[in-house]
Amino acid sequence: MAARTEQEERADVSAPPVRGGGRRHPVAAVVSVFGELLITAGVLLGLFVAYSLWWTNVLADREAGKQGDTVRDHWADGRGPGELDTKDGIGFLHVPAMENGEVLVKKGTDTETLNNGIAGYYTDPVKSALPADEKGNFTLAAHRDGHGARFHNIDKVKKGDAIVFETKDTWYIYKVYAELPETSKYNVDVIAPVPKESGVKKPGRYITLTTCTPVYTSKYRYIVWGELVRTEKVDQDRTKPAELR
């Protein structure tokens, strides 16, 4: 091999390094690590959102389905204290405008209960009436997003729409007469026995649906009020009332 000239050796020493070789500048290294952390955080956040808004719905739907089947099995076997079975559920809420199918209703509005993809009736701060009571306000709560999101489409419910509650023996048919798109989460007057904020002034047989708003937050509450217009006895075939056909 021919000896290299002094000029050639000097050229090699002054030549720039190949890309990717050598040490990176400390600032560049920090920026790179920070960028990777942001990407990882973004992936984790995306997974959390998917879990909160999709997978919790899947789990809640399964659980609500099992609990609902239990109630109907008890009814078919003639079990349960008449119209009510407060241990497993008192019946099913049907709101066609929400397009949410039937919703099992149980006692209580605690998070553990509502997370099972059902609706609960209030026991506090104002005790709910029950549909069979001669007077009072049947007050319900359910999630608007995640965990079944049973009241997700509550904003589609308008004045004149039907709300139907199904028990073992009776269909209770209510008609929506007022809505309140936003109010404080601390406003308990909306679930009072006579909900005067809805425009009524005397005792009657009312139903109130409550949930969080805006969607994906719990800052305020969305309210829908209805009043009982009639009842129908459940026949042997459990024929649905006209509002649900």
Q: What's the CATH code, domain 52-244? A: 2.40.260.10
Please state, in angstroms and rounded to a whole number, the distance separating the CA atoms of residues 99 and 126.
28
pLDDT at 183: 98
Distance CA 244, CA 221 (A): 27
Please identify every residue annotated as catalytic: 212
pLDDT of residue 232: 97
pLDDT at 229: 98
Would you state the pLDDT for residue 131? 95
pTM of the predicted protein model: 0.78
The per-residue pLDDT for 1 is 46
Specify whether the CB–CB gap between 213 and 182 falls below 8 A. Answer: yes
Q: What is the pLDDT of residue 100?
A: 87
The pLDDT of residue 48 is 47
pLDDT lower than 50: segments of the chain: 1-2, 8-22, 46-48, 51
Q: Which two tokens stand for residue 232?
A: 């129908």
- Residues, the chain, total? 245
Can you name the residues that pair with 106 across neighbouring β-strands?
120
**Can you give the pLDDT at residue 55?**
75
- The ranges assigned to domains in the chain are 52-244
Q: What angle do CA 79, 84, 89 make, to 5 degrees?
A: 90
